[in-house]
Amino acid sequence: MSRPLPLLLLLSLPLAGFSHASLAATAGELRLAVPAHGADDAARRGWIAGRVTNTEGQAVEGVTVALKGTSYGASTQENGNFRLAAQAGSYQLVVSSIGYATQEVAVTVTGGETITLPAFALAVSSQALTEVTVTGQKSLNQRAMTVGKLPVPTLDLPQSAVTVEREVLEQQQVLRLSDALVNVSGLYVTSTTGGTQEELGSRGFAYGSNNTFKNGVRFNNGIMPEASSLERMEVLKGSAAILYGNVAAGGVLNLVTKKPQFERGGSVGLRVGSFGFWKPTVDVYGAIGDSKKAAFRLNGTYEQGNSFRDVVKSDRVYVNPSLLFELSPKTTLVLEGDYLRDNRTPDYGIGAINYEIPASRTRFLNLAGANNATTQTSATATLTTRLNNTWSLRGVAGFQRYDNELRSASRPTNIVSTPGATYGNWNRGLQRSQTSENYYLAQLDLTGTFNTGFLGHTLLVGADADQYQTNSVAFTTPESALRPGTAVTVYDAINILDRNKELAQPAERLSSFDQLVRNSLTKGNTRRAGFYVQDLMSVSEKVKVLAGVRWSYQETPSDVFNYNTIANINNKIANTYVETRRYDNAFSPRLGVVYQPIKTSSVFASYSNSFSPNSGIDTDGNTLRPSIIQQYEAGIKNDLFNGALSANVTAYQIVNSDQAQTIQPGAPNFNESRPSAQELAGEVTSKGVEVDVQSKPMMGWSLITGYSYNHTSYTKTNTYINGSRLRYNPAHTANLSLFYNFGSAFGDTFLRGLNAGVTTYYVGDRVAGRSTRVNVANDTYRLIEVPNYVQFDASLGYTYNRVGVRVKLANILDELSYNLHDDNSVNPIAPRNFSATVSYKL
């Protein structure tokens, strides 16, 4: 079945010559690409409407309705209706679907009018299926990515890119982003700190909030994003600094939410699963009233569940409203909101003893009353206008509010212990923090497609500015009443291996989180701006060159208020106010060459760099300049078997030759008055290979598979062992998703609505813990070896009329491994578990 084109992709289509206005007018009904060449004339646009049934008069969904010799097309909805837009003219309308005899009829489209055709009654075809041609779905390499900002297929870009569409996410019953990693090689979970978030990484670099986007706007990933609202997931691997400034070198992730549609519809559903999990969802959309100019969509869900981990529980509420306005045939406005309230038990896992993991899946070391409460609210406005046949303008304004309050036992940092009566004993403390953040963004992109002599250009000129306003309150332990001048630091004493073991408790103990006192208030107000230009030049039919540069400016003020606490008095910073200001700017160039020997294949090579601001000072007290990270990438992209299968291979090397490290005592430039001074003396090198293979649905089958190899290590360092691996990055990952949709090939039998599939994901060996320091006498830091694992899942789904049922068995092999942050958040992966979803289409 063909799929709806996401709205943000529709907004970018005019730059490649697509019919944007007609798309917006029929959003939710148009499901095939419109012509790839030629501009749309709003005055000459008309519509074709109709209905398709079988010979018994029952509506047939998913039938392809297309204008022969063009890319104008649609597919029928649940009620059999279709509606498509086209330029005025005479065409042959072809109505086709697997298992049915094709019908063809002549139609004439008149500008400004809607032609309603008599119903088509399709007869079951008795012909054997010898070949299946899939239309209406673009291959992995033919899709354009909104996060890439250029309206061109990724086949034309000298960079690895992967998109995962909504149908795949639904088919795999994705609940968290970590469930979707099976579709992207080299993208992995680095840690799940406190069990409240999923921190992702790629090519040896973490995807922080700077690298994570929703609808093209950065969002705080301190909370797990909601997956039920996703239209697709976009991963642009490698450097994206030219587009977004100081992003990490591994790549960027963009989550695109579902968009409004003019045809009324939607669904309601309920997901239940192991450990008391349940999650109702609702998704409704349609035109506002009878308008053809305004449409809405509303996604929402509530989630509640316990966990395979003792005591751990969670609940969350999510609402995602959006509006689409067609302000004119050339201009659209999309307004989107996002609200997420998430409460869950913070869970720092099972602990580590002597930098080894004492195996367990359920051991819980926090307090039953601990809570991590987060609220995240955002709003985005996207205005797109086609100025003429050459130029298009896109403006984005965004706002996000993030609030978090944490009350938890202290993290179980690695326990140094010797075998015996006290082995595994731990004095448990309390921690508390409050964080609030306002984020503002304004972005403007001008894109154009034109020729200068023999050169063809797809030009992007843009500017952006954003601002983070943060307030962070840190709490510390109070002064002892029995021992003035010292602090009460312990809540209780426990044994992490045997929670029932009775231990002697301290004479004076903390009794509650409310005993903790304010230690500091940190106010940040980071302001950034950037200007960039990028040109994809067609030198010939086979050779393309992508060149561009960005200039970025960043101002990072920080105001720290230290309160009168025992902790601060001991560190001689009581009752102080510290103000710091730093200003950074950097150029980020990009150059790439693409050679396409045939239209479905490309070979590319590229160079780019990114930058990372440094917060430290040098031995003279001056701020450090940003670290510059060089990145080299080369690869091959292929669309095989008439675009049915995309197979891409990429090799890369990333070198951070200016990594900030603390100047060690005894070094010639060491300054005793500034013992924490830093120098740009470190070098980290990441190199690897990635393979991504993705198919269109063909004769019911769909395939996604991949493999990645990465080695990230210190190649120069004054602190750690040269050649030692950086933490959290698996040396190998591999993924496979194989599904079969029985579909219409089985006629009107009960098998028609059945689909089944398997997914498997392999994560190779990793290291965590703490890197050994070569310049510290008797250093106790050690790395922790993290076991590799294979996760194997099976899914089964059945759809009858408007009702769908899906079941999933995850981690069938019941593999045990862990996600680690340092040595203080050792979180086991989930055991074998079951889930089931029932949905009803409105």
H-helix segments, 715-809 = none
pLDDT at 152: 93
Residue whose token pair is 């309603």: 116
pLDDT at 390: 92
pLDDT at 253: 95
What gap in Å lies between CA 331 and CA 394, rounded to an integer? 10
H-helix segments, 163-228 = 166-171, 177-180
pLDDT at 60: 86
pLDDT at 25: 32
pLDDT at 532: 98
Domain architecture of the chain: domains with CATH: 7-122 (2.60.40.1120), 146-257 (2.170.130.10), 266-354+370-841 (2.40.170.20)
Q: Classify 194 as helix, strand or coil.
A: helix
pTM (2 d.p.): 0.84
H-helix segments, 15-124 = 20-25
Give 10-residue mean pLDDT values along the chain (842 residues): 32 32 33 36 71 84 82 78 83 83 86 83 60 56 92 94 94 94 94 92 91 93 93 94 91 95 92 97 94 94 95 96 94 96 96 94 93 97 94 97 97 92 95 97 97 95 97 95 91 94 93 95 95 97 96 93 86 79 91 96 96 86 89 97 94 93 87 88 95 91 96 94 94 97 73 92 95 88 95 95 95 96 94 97 92
pLDDT at 18: 31
225 contacts 214 by C-beta, under 8 angstroms:
yes
769 contacts 786 by C-beta, under 8 angstroms:
no
pLDDT at 20: 31
297 contacts 285 by C-beta, under 8 angstroms:
yes
pLDDT at 44: 62
708 contacts 186 by C-beta, under 8 angstroms:
yes
The residues, any chain, with a CB within 8 Å of residue 683's CB and separated by 6 or more, are 655, 656, 657, 658, 659, 714, 715, 716, 717
Quick one: which H or E segment has residue 281? strand 277-287
Kindly state the tokens that stand for 66: 């297309």
pLDDT at 41: 56
Residue 117 DSSP code: P
780 contacts 739 by C-beta, under 8 angstroms:
no
pLDDT at 742: 87
